[in-house]
Amino acid sequence: MESPDLAHMRSEYARTGLDEAAAGDDPLALFGRWLDEAVASQLHEPNAMALATATPDGRPSVRIVLLKGFDAGGLRFFTNYDSRKGLELGANPRAAAVLLWHPLQRQVRVEGPVSVLDGADSDAYFASRPRGAQIGAVASPQSQPIEGREALEERVAEVERLFEGTGVERPPVWGGYRLGLESVEFWQGREDRLHDRLRFERRGDGWTRERLAP
Ligand SMILES: Cc1cc2nc3c(=O)[nH]c(=O)nc-3n(C[C@H](O)[C@H](O)[C@H](O)COP(=O)(O)O)c2cc1C
């Protein structure tokens, strides 16, 4: 089978740039605008982000999760606390995330400390999920080896029986995290690979902003 000619694949980036005036001083506001534009562009799952965690001795791992909310406290996402990412975050509570809005030629990179969301916040989000996803969250020992698809489906059937006729309770092992905003970089693709990169870093109550070479 012939592989695609990756070395010669390139597309031109020619969108309007990101200058300091347009970026402003508040990365949260800019993030909100870019997310709104990604949603308005009808991108598929504009809230998908790659989330990197690492073991305390520095072995990284990365996977996609969905961004479920954000504010000055950080980016919120939900998962299983005993998953690989959960265990890595338990031992080393720092992470990096990147959102890619490819058709807009934009990416946003976030780095910072990670904290566990309050139980009440996780309860509220869990309650808003469709029942099938709630059952799945209870039934799936995320990241653990399982015997086969059938074993998983049996666990789902068991959980369905357990909660028959009642609401599904959030299992303590499932809930949210908040990735604090310590560093937020906005990347806008430009012509000739001379992309715009503006990085904000937390300094006390405010932010510094600097331009990075592409
Ligand atoms: C588009 C997309 C969205 C996903 N959203 C989530 C999510 O919000 N939470 C989650 O735990 N896993 C999500 N996953 C699955 C994760 O990528 C991953 O398989 C799972 O969390 C286990 O990762 P871990 O073993 O590194 O902990 C998503 C996958 C894709 C492709």
pLDDT in tens, the chain (214 residues): 667 788 887 766 655 899 999 999 999 999 999 999 999 999 999 999 999 999 999 999 999 999 999 999 999 999 999 999 999 999 999 999 999 999 999 999 999 999 999 999 999 999 999 999 999 999 999 999 999 999 999 999 999 999 999 999 999 999 999 999 999 999 999 999 999 999 999 999 999 999 999 9
Find the residues whose C-beta lies inside 6 A of ligand 1. Answer: 45, 48, 61, 63-66, 77-79, 83-85, 142-143
Q: Is residue 48 part of a domain?
A: yes
pLDDT score at 8: 81
How far apart CA 134 and CA 163 sit, in angstroms, is: 11
Q: Is residue 184 part of a domain?
A: yes
**Which residue's alpha carbon is nearest to atom 11 within ligand 1?**
79
The number of domains in the chain is: 1
CA–centroid distance, 11 to ligand 1, in Å, is: 29
Q: What is the largest CA-CA distance in the chain?
A: 60
CATH number at residue 34: 2.30.110.10
Calculate the CA 99 to chain-centre distance.
7
How far apart CA 171 and CA 190 sit, in angstroms, is: 46
- Give the residue carrying structure tokens 């990101």: 18
pLDDT score at 15: 59
- Give the residue carrying structure tokens 């000739």: 192
Q: Is residue 82 part of a domain?
A: yes
pLDDT score at 6: 81
**Would you state the structure tokens that stand for residue 69, as one six-digit string?**
């909310």
pLDDT score at 23: 97
Q: Is residue 2 part of a domain?
A: no
CA–centroid distance, 65 to ligand 1, in Å, is: 5
Q: Is residue 101 part of a domain?
A: yes
Q: Is residue 178 part of a domain?
A: yes
pLDDT score at 16: 83
The ligand 1 atom at the shortest distance from the C-alpha of residue 53 is: 26
Q: Is residue 135 part of a domain?
A: no
pLDDT score at 14: 55
Q: What is the CA angle 40-24-195, rounded to 5?
A: 70
Range of the domain at 51: 13-124+174-211
The ligand 1 atom at the shortest distance from the C-alpha of residue 68 is: 8
What is the pTM (predicted TM-score) of this model? 0.95
Q: Is residue 71 part of a domain?
A: yes
**Which residue's alpha carbon is nearest to atom 14 within ligand 1?**
65
Which amino acid appears at position 20 of this protein? E
CA–centroid distance, 28 to ligand 1, in Å, is: 24
Please list the active-site residues.
193
